[in-house]
């Protein structure tokens, strides 16, 4: 039986964000809407070719439900910790990332 190892409450909501691959040999960026989010990470669909352990930059406005009163855009350096095929014609993957570092603009 799989156990849920999440340490932060996840909210099921769509939040617009930009994801940028930090591997200089595979530079790519994509605008996506996340599927769920917490203070520690985010899960989103993407066509980017990512792999577990790779680092990405995530830019988004943190929802009011997580950080009350904030209106700035945040930039996170995050690590891919989970990948799954979402199937369909677009061949997208569901990607879970864990936030490592951040800055508020």
Q: pLDDT averaged over the chain?
A: 87
In a domain, 8, yes or no: no
> Is pLDDT above 80 for 105?
no
Name the more confident of 78 and 64: 78
Domain count across the chain: 1
Domain coverage including residue 28: 13-104
State pTM to two decimals: 0.85
| Sheet architecture: strand order including 29-33 | 11-12, 36-37, 41-46, 92-104, 73-87, 55-61, 16-21, 29-33
For residue range 18-61, list pLDDT tens digits in order: 999 998 888 799 999 999 999 899 999 999 989 999 999 999 99
Q: Do the Cβ atoms of 63 and 19 come closer than 8 Å?
A: no
In a domain, 3, yes or no: no
Name the more confident of 22 and 68: 22
In a domain, 1, yes or no: no
Burial status of residue 44 (CB atoms within 10 A of its CB: 0-12, 13-18, 19 or more):
buried
In a domain, 76, yes or no: yes
In a domain, 26, yes or no: yes
In a domain, 2, yes or no: no
Q: What is the per-residue pLDDT for 3?
A: 43
Domain of residue 38, CATH code = 2.40.10.220
């Amino acid at each position: 039986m799989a156990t849920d190892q999440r340490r932060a409450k996840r909210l099921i909501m769509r939040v617009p964000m930009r994801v940028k691959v930090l591997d200089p040999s595979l530079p790519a960026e994509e605008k996506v809407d996340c599927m769920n989010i917490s203070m520690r990470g985010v899960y989103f669909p993407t066509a980017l070719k990512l792999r577990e352990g790779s680092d990405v930059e995530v830019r988004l406005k943190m929802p009011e439900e997580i950080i009350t009163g904030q209106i700035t855009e945040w930039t996170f350096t995050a690590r891919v910790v989970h990948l799954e095929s979402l199937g369909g014609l677009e061949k997208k993957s569901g990607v879970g990332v864990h936030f490592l570092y951040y800055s508020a603009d």
